[in-house]
Amino acid sequence: MGKRPVIAVICPPDEETDHLHLYEKILGDVADIHFLSGSEPGEREKILAVSEVVIAASCAPWEISTSEMAFLKPEGLLQLLYSGADNIPFGLLPREMKIASNAGVFAEPIAEHVLAMVLCLLKRIVPGYDELRNGIFDRKNLNRTLRGKTCGILGFGGNGRAIARIMRSVGVKVVAMNRSGKTGEPVDEIWDISRIDDLLRLSDLLVLTVPLNRSTRGLIGKRELSLMPPDAVLVNVARGAVIDQGALYSHLVPHPGFCAAIDTWWSEPDAHGQFRLEYHFFELPNFLGSPHVADNVPGTMVLAVTSALENVRGYLEGGKLKGLLDRTDYQ
C-alpha cells in the first residue's frame, strides 16, 4: 500500500471546528488531514511542504502568509471553500499548482436574495415603510410589476443558472451571457460577451454574477449604464469592483426611475479592513444594500465544505477536477 496523501487545512478555526466531522467522513479514509490553525509557524511550514492538497476558505492573507506560500508543492492542489478567487495572490503561488474554486455552491440562497432585492425595489417596500413610520399613509405612489420583464444575467455559472430558474418561475424572460454563448439551462436567449451592449439595452433587470478578474473589473461604467433602460434595476452579487462606483452614483442621482441593489461592496471589512463608500448611496431612494449576506443562511457552509471535500476526493482518486481556475484570467 502506497503512502497516503497529506492534506493541510488552513481555514480559520470557526470553519474548521464546526465541520471537523465532514473532513473525516469524506477524506479520512484516503488521506492524512492536518488542521493548521493554531499551529506554530515552523510546524505549519513542514506540513505545507508535504501536502498534496491545501484547503482554504479564500486563500486570503489572514489564512496563509507570503513566506508560507514558498513551501507549497508545485504539483499540488489549492481547493477553496468559497467561489471568489479575487483574494488569491496568484503571482506568489507555484506556477504549476492547480487552484479550484467552489463556484455555485451558494447558488440557491443567492438567487432568493436577488429576487427579494428586486421585488423590494420594484414594490417600493423600504420607501413605503419609511413613510408609514413617519405617519404618512400615501397610496398614490405606484409600484411596479415583475412578471413580463426581461432579466439579463451577466455571468452564467451556478449562481446565474439558479437566478435564471427563480426568475423564470415568476414569469420573467431570461437572457443569459457567458463566454461560450451556450448553455444547457432553459433560457430564452444565451449570448456571448460580444453582445453585451444588446444585453444592456434590453434588460429591465440586470444581475451581475461574473467573477472579478482582469476582464470584468470596472465592466459596468458610465457608457454601459447609459445603454440601460431608464427604469431598469441593476443587482450586483458578483464583486463590488465589477461596477465603477462613481459612475453608478452619478447615474442614480439624475435617474430616479433607475434602481440599484448591492450585496457585494467595493470596500468590505474582511477583504479591505473596513466598510467604506466614496459616495452617499444611502441617501438615495432608488438604492438598496445588504452587507454581503446573500449566501448567509443556515446550512450553507455544510454544503460548501461538503462540495469542496468531494471535489478533493475525486481529484485524489483520479477524477475530473471541478472549478479549476485559469490563471490568465487574473494575471
Let me know: does 11 contact 293? Beta carbons within 8 Å.
Answer: no
- Which is the catalytic residue, given 34, 44, 161, 239? 239
Let me know: does 241 contact 250? Beta carbons within 8 Å.
Answer: no
Which whole-number Å values give the CA distances from 244 to 6, 49, 193, 265, in the listed order? 43, 41, 18, 11
Strand order, beta sheet including 32-35: 32-35, 6-9, 53-56, 77-80, 98-100
- Which is the catalytic residue, given 268, 310, 313, 327? 268
Backbone φ and ψ of 240, nearest 5°: -55, -45
Does the active-site annotation cover 112? no
Q: For residues 308 and 70, what is the distance between their CA atoms, to the nearest angstrom?
A: 24
Let me know: does 100 contact 75? Beta carbons within 8 Å.
Answer: no
Does the active-site annotation cover 268? yes
Does the active-site annotation cover 45? no
At 230, list the grid cell: 431608464
Catalytic residues: 239, 268, 292
